[in-house]
Amino acid sequence: MEALVASAIGLLTAVGIYMMLRLRTFPVILGLTFLSYGVNLFLFTSGRLTVNAAPIIGRTEPYADPLPQALVLTAIVISFGMTAVLMIMAIGGHLEAGHDKVNMSDTDDDTPEVQS
């Protein structure tokens, strides 16, 4: 089971990084979303994998480590906030500049390209 989860984390991270290296804002944001899936899962597994051990006191012992779970819970919510801020920035960039490219070319210094 550990190998499955580890390979899933690796794959999500790899797809996330690949998408972050694309040249338009939307794929980059999707890439960041994938990367945060991978990172959240990775942080979660630092508590080691356990089955049928939800950290609810009074249930069957042993309990899963609750601390990584609490940290990842807040991380999931913050990832949403970050994605939302990036989205409005991407929209703003696209509407202001007329294109949604991530990289600025060496020739244009901040001068917005005319939309084709």
Interacting residue with another protein among 38, 111, 113, 114 (CB under 8 A)? 38
User: 2-20 and 25-45 are packed helices; what angle lies between their axes, rounded to 10 degrees?
Assistant: 160
| By CB under 8 A, residue 3 contacts another protein | yes
Q: Quote the least distance from Cβ 22 to another protein, whole Å.
A: 7
Of 110, 105, 72, 93, the C-alpha closest to 28 is 93
| By CB under 8 A, residue 7 contacts another protein | yes
Cα separation, 64 vs 51, in Å, equals: 8
| By CB under 8 A, residue 113 contacts another protein | no
Which of the residues 58 through 77 are near another protein (CB under 8 A)?
58, 63-67, 69-70, 72-74, 76-77
Are 66 and 55 in contact by the 8 Å Cβ rule? The answer is yes
Cα separation, 64 vs 110, in Å, equals: 52
Interacting residue with another protein among 53, 111, 113, 114 (CB under 8 A)? 53
| By CB under 8 A, residue 114 contacts another protein | no
